[in-house]
């Protein structure tokens, strides 16, 4: 680890002032930042510890029924909040499918949104990586890239965003509340993360010193509560990042889909909302035919970025299956293995 100064500010204003200096980084639980500092992929000269800031650890229901989640709320606490999990079961399921119980017990929701890619070359300072060191090249292009992006990538960077949580958040139109040196602002999560283009080092819209203070989820997503799932394909049963994942939510009335929400994870540098597929589902009868068509629409623009063409077909199947699971209904109780394609309960829809 490089040497750094450690600062524990007493207020958001103090934190923002301390973090506006070049080379400063916010420290939340540190489960991503310290990891990357240990391997030398991130080298901040100053850590501004925001974990103890007052007022950022609350889960609030606003008068219009929307939820406001402070950025220091821990992943496990949000997933365990009964009111929240009932309103947004697929967000809770995504959270519980991520990392391990120990990590979820400390990791914050702000840190989850801000976590960096798991691209192995990004983590290895000896490799060329445009994201870590702009202009140095991208060793993933000709390297181990079977887990890399199939949507929205560029010749500069083919990395994916690793968060599960963000996939469900983007499906339900989450909004990011930000405080910075120039004041406060709000950005829809869908516009928060940036595709790489020619500047993969710019991963999100935050400017120097800007702090995420909260995430908001609008109340109108409540009509999807009865039919929503998060499904995550990974290379072992638990405690692994997504190869491909999807959040599917349906508002079904009289055998017709009134509206649908669909987002994919593990496929791009941002959580990927599939608007075209949603539009196709609207007005359709829930079933394999409509779901396969939606899956094709969701991946219509997909292109392999390396030895990962299989992820395109895999993503279609994950979308199709997530939609079937959503149509079957939100489970009464969180499954023993959240978001898993394998079910331990006899009779419960697990294979489609």
Partner 1 sequence: MTLSVTLSVNGVRRDVTLEDPRVTLLDLLRERLDLVGTKKGCDRGQCGACTVLVDGRRINSCLALAASYDGADIVTIEGLAKGDLLDPVQAAFIAHDGFQCGFCTPGQIMSAVGLINEGEAGDDPDRVREGMSGNLCRCGAHAGIVEAVLDAQKQLQQRRVA
Site residues for partner 1 per CB under 8 A: 1, 3-6, 8, 27, 29-31, 34-35, 38, 47, 49, 51-52, 76, 80, 99-103, 105-106, 237-239, 336-338, 344
Residue 113-152 contact track with ligand SF4, rule CB under 6 A, x = bound = ----x-x-xx------xxx------xxx------------
DSSP H helices in the chain = 12-19, 33-38, 75-80, 82-87, 89-96, 101-104, 109-114, 120-123, 165-171, 189-192, 275-281, 288-298, 310-328
Query: Residue 40 binds which one of partner 1, ligand SF4, ligand FAD, none, with CB within 5 to 8 A depending on kind?
Result: none
Total residue length of the chain: 352
The residues facing 74 across adjacent strands are 108
Q: What is the dihedral of CA 11, 12, 18, 19, to 10 degrees?
A: 150
Query: Residue 129 binds which one of ligand FAD, ligand SF4, partner 1, none, with CB within 5 to 8 A depending on kind?
Result: ligand SF4
Longest CA–CA separation in the chain, Å: 62
Distance CA 15, CA 9 (A): 5
Residue 276-295 contact track with ligand SF4, rule CB under 6 A, x = bound = --------------------
Nearest-10 crossing angle of helices 310-328, 288-298: 140
Is residue 71 involved in binding ligand FAD (CB under 6 A)?
yes
Is residue 179 involved in binding ligand SF4 (CB under 6 A)?
no
Is residue 108 involved in binding ligand SF4 (CB under 6 A)?
no
Least distance (Å) from partner 1 to the CB of residue 178?
A: 23
| Cβ contact 185:206 at 8 Å | no
Name the residue with tokens 């359709």. 284
Is residue 25 involved in binding ligand FAD (CB under 6 A)?
yes
Is residue 130 involved in binding ligand FAD (CB under 6 A)?
no
Number of chain positions touching ligand FAD (CB under 6 A): 29
Q: What is the dihedral of CA 265, 266, 271, 272, to 10 degrees?
A: -70
Least distance (Å) from partner 1 to the CB of residue 68?
A: 23
Least distance (Å) from partner 1 to the CB of residue 105?
A: 5
Site for ligand SF4, rule CB under 6 A? 117, 119, 121-122, 129-131, 138-140, 157-159, 200
């Amino acid at each position: 680890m490089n040497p750094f100064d450690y600062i524990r500010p007493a207020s958001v204003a103090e934190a923002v002032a301390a973090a506006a200096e070049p080379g400063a980084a916010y420290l939340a639980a540190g489960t991503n930042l310290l990891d990357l500092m240990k391997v030398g992929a991130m080298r901040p000269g100053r850590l501004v510890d925001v974990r103890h800031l007052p007022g950022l650890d609350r889960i609030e229901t606003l008068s219009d029924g929307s939820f406001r989640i402070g950025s220091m709320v821990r992943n496990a606490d949000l997933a365990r909040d009964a009111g929240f999990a009932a309103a947004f079961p697929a967000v809770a399921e995504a959270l519980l499918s991520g990392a391990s119980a120990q990590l979820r017990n400390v990791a914050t929701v702000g840190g989850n949104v801000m976590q960096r890619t798991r691209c192995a070359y990004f983590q290895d300072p000896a490799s060329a990586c445009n994201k870590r060191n702009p202009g140095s090249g991208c060793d993933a292009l000709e390297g181990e890239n079977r887990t890399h992006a199939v949507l929205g990538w560029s010749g500069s960077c083919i990395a994916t965003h690793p968060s599960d949580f963000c996939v469900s958040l983007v499906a339900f139109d989450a909004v990011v509340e930000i405080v910075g040196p120039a004041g406060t602002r709000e950005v829809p999560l869908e516009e928060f993360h940036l595709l790489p283009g020619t500047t993969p080092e710019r991963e999100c819209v935050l400017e120097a010193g800007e702090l995420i203070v909260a995430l908001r989820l609008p109340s109108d997503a409540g009509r999807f509560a009865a039919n929503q799932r998060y499904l995550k394909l990974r290379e072992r049963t638990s405690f692994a990042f997504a190869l491909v994942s999807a959040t599917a939510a349906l508002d079904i009335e009289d055998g017709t889909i009134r509206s649908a929400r669909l987002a994919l994870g593990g496929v791009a540098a941002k959580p990927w909302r599939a608007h075209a597929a949603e539009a196709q589902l609207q007005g359709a009868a829930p079933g394999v035919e409509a779901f396969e068509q939606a899956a094709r629409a969701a991946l219509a623009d997909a292109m392999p970025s390396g030895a990962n063409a299989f992820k395109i077909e895999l993503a279609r199947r994950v979308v199709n299956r997530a939609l079937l699971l959503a149509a079957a209904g939100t489970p009464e109780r969180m499954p023993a293995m959240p978001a898993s394609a394998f079910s331990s309960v006899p009779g419960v829809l697990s294979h489609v």
